[in-house]
Structure 1
Amino acid sequence: MKKWGWLLSVTLTLSSIMVACSGQSGGETKKLSDNKLVVGVTAGPHEEIMEQVKEVAKKEGLDIEIKVFNDYVMPNVALAEKEIDANSFQTVPYLEQFKKDRNLDLVDVIHTVTFPMGIYSNKIKDLKAIANGAKLGIPNDPVNGERALKLFEKAGVIKLKPGTGHHLTVKDIAENKKNVQFVELEASQIPRQLGELTAAAINTNFAIEHGFVPTRDAIFMEGKDSPHVNLIAVRTENKNDPVLKKLEKAYRSAEVKAFIEKEFKGSVIPSW
């Protein structure tokens, strides 16, 4: 009995140590550094803009390390898993939906720029030329898919059901006179598949990365009133950390604004 009692005591002690250590590594709130941030971005405009922000921030004593991603999923996953300190790549509706779908504790802290979504084509110059049964590409995630459908509606290609109370999908098309077929693809892949489609709605960052100049090459674009403003997100536990004020000051600086306006010529719009 003494032998088994001793083993039980040791086992319980080791278990307590493991639980304590686990709690310290997984649940402990950790303040962001005051002078260094690792920021995740998608390749293309967000990366280019953050490079400029990095230069401005350096003058204020803030070192920004940029980590580049090639999709819309991993930047939020990496942020939640504490592989990065912040990310800059997504719109407000996209973040809200992603948080809901994956139960992530992330928060919007700085509004940055707006990327008007555009419709592109290698085959037609005007959406009036769309043939019956044409294949049109849209992103396959709920937020950008709805955004694309609304853009095609605004362009007069389809009509959507009003006031559905959820993210609109192809099932919510009320009128489709030309019987167009919507092909849902991962957003970053749409530019590569454009040759197989009559036209497609492409997010501006992926359009620019593929070599398009949105103000020149898009055959239809969102207006400047687009509600899809982009943002910088962090973990909720860090939303009040002082370093974010430094990041906001650098991002919203006159130097960065001038770069955006000169480099993107209206395809990317500062939101401040």
Structure 2
Amino acid sequence: MKKKILILSLILSVIFVMTACGKSSGNASGTQTTLVVGASPVPHAEILRKAAPILKKEGINLDIKVFQDYVLPNKALASKQIDANYFQHIPFLNLYNKQNHTDLVSAGKIHIEPFGIYSKKYKKVSDIKDGATVQISNNKAEQGRILLLLESKGLVKIKPGVDKITATLNDIDNIKHLKFLQPIDPALLPKAYENNAADLFAINTNYALQANLNPKKDALILEGSQSPYANIIAVRKGDENKKAVKELVKVLHSKAIQDFINTKYKGAVLPVSD
């Protein structure tokens, strides 16, 4: 009887070891970490899906949660529903922290989405008439960005002494007497553009891409690669030093992902290496 029990114990031990070996994959230690990241559908989630197999080899399972707006991803991050998010730039993050008393931080800059001003009415900036209407989003963190673009073409002038990144419509000399319409949700801008509801439209690149607009070809005015509005991986303060987060940023900076961004988006999205 004792002999049978011993044999049975040995068999169960072997089965346990084999099962454990079968579950382990990825890195040398055989452990797996799940990292839940919130992202906008385009291009963020697409880039993360490309990075997922690379991270898998490093023992990190990437769980991508897609969000359709700019509010919920930070709420989910602050409330620990997700581990990180990928949809925003630092000026937006700073404003969110200030307004919501949160302490979210950047773990790394990943890409720039050159912001564009679009128009169905005008083909050249020089054609823009005095008093042209402009539709912008209700995202206050973008106002300075939009005004910088308009200023670059001499349509407005941001007043001296004003921080241009945080500038608002109250901080300009309106050289062309542009009429800024009631701001709307960023996701609605492509539809407003299709309906020709204004003369000029300031549209975020991710929403432009979703609407099959090519910023490089279709934008009347387009931001350059030196923009301070790089999109980031955001985390709760302290988590930027976690191994899985650092590995995520490392993979997103890799040549494989940068080549993917350049090939797929053809200049509409520009990778950042640091």
The corresponding residue for 2:167 is 168
The corresponding residue for 2:245 is 244
Query: What does residue range 13-28 of structure 1 map to in structure 2 within 5 Å?
Result: none
State the 1:158 CA deviation: 1.4
The corresponding residue for 1:225 is 226
Q: Deviations over 1:114-146 (max 9, x none)?
A: 111111112211122222322111222222111
User: Which structure 1 segments of 5+ residues have no match?
Assistant: 1-32
Return the alpha-carbon distance in structure 2 between the equivalents of residues 124 and 134 of structure 1: 10
Residue 36 (1) aligns with residue 34 (2): yes
Return the alpha-carbon distance in structure 2 between the equivalents of residues 61 and 252 of structure 1: 18
Contact map agreement 2:32 2:59 (CA 8 A) in 1 = no
Contact map agreement 2:107 2:246 (CA 8 A) in 1 = no
The corresponding residue for 1:109 is 107
The one-letter amino acid paired with 2:175 is N
Q: Deviations over 1:251-271 (max 9, x none)?
A: 122211110010011111111
Return the alpha-carbon distance in structure 1 between the equivalents of residues 108 and 163 of structure 2: 27
- 1:185 is paired with a residue whose SS is coil
Contact map agreement 1:36 1:63 (CA 8 A) in 2 = yes
Deviates more, 1:154-163 or 1:108-117: 154-163
Q: Closer, same or farther in 2 for the Cα pair 1:165/1:265, shift >3 Å? A: closer
The one-letter amino acid paired with 1:49 is I
The corresponding residue for 2:258 is 257
Return the alpha-carbon distance in structure 2 between the equivalents of residues 113 and 205 of structure 1: 12
State the 1:204 CA deviation: 0.9
Residue 82 (1) aligns with residue 88 (2): no
Contact map agreement 1:91 1:231 (CA 8 A) in 2 = yes
State the 1:110 CA deviation: 1.4
Q: Closer, same or farther in 2 for the Cα pair 1:34/1:81, shift >3 Å? A: farther
Contact map agreement 2:107 2:232 (CA 8 A) in 1 = yes
CA RMSD of aligned residues (A): 1.6
The corresponding residue for 1:92 is 90
Contact map agreement 1:135 1:199 (CA 8 A) in 2 = yes
Query: What does residue range 121-132 of structure 1 map to in structure 2 within 5 Å?
Result: 121-132=119-130
The one-letter amino acid paired with 1:228 is Y
Contact map agreement 2:110 2:252 (CA 8 A) in 1 = yes
Deviates more, 1:96-105 or 1:165-174: 165-174
The corresponding residue for 1:58 is 56
Return the alpha-carbon distance in structure 1 between the equivalents of residues 110 and 32 of structure 2: 21
State the 1:164 CA deviation: 2.4
User: Which structure 2 segments of 5+ residues have no match?
Assistant: 1-30
Contact map agreement 1:161 1:172 (CA 8 A) in 2 = yes
State the 1:165 CA deviation: 4.7
Query: What does residue range 150-189 of structure 1 map to in structure 2 within 5 Å?
Result: 150-165=148-163, 167-177=166-176, 179-183=177-181, 184-189=183-188
State the 1:34 CA deviation: 6.2
- 1:145 is paired with a residue whose SS is helix
Aligned pair count reads 239
Query: Percent identity, aligned pairs only?
Result: 39
Contact map agreement 2:240 2:246 (CA 8 A) in 1 = no
The corresponding residue for 1:211 is 212
Query: What does residue range 3-18 of structure 1 map to in structure 2 within 5 Å?
Result: none
- 2:154 is paired with a residue whose SS is coil
Return the alpha-carbon distance in structure 1 between the equivalents of residues 147 and 163 of structure 2: 15
The one-letter amino acid paired with 1:170 is L
The corresponding residue for 1:67 is 65
The corresponding residue for 2:19 is none
The corresponding residue for 1:193 is 192
Residue 266 (1) aligns with residue 267 (2): yes
Q: Closer, same or farther in 2 for the Cα pair 1:251/1:165, shift >3 Å? A: closer
Return the alpha-carbon distance in structure 2 between the equivalents of residues 227 and 111 of structure 1: 10
- 2:228 is paired with a residue whose SS is coil
Question: Normalized against structure 1, the TM-score is what?
Answer: 0.84
Contact map agreement 2:125 2:153 (CA 8 A) in 1 = yes
- 1:239 is paired with a residue whose SS is helix
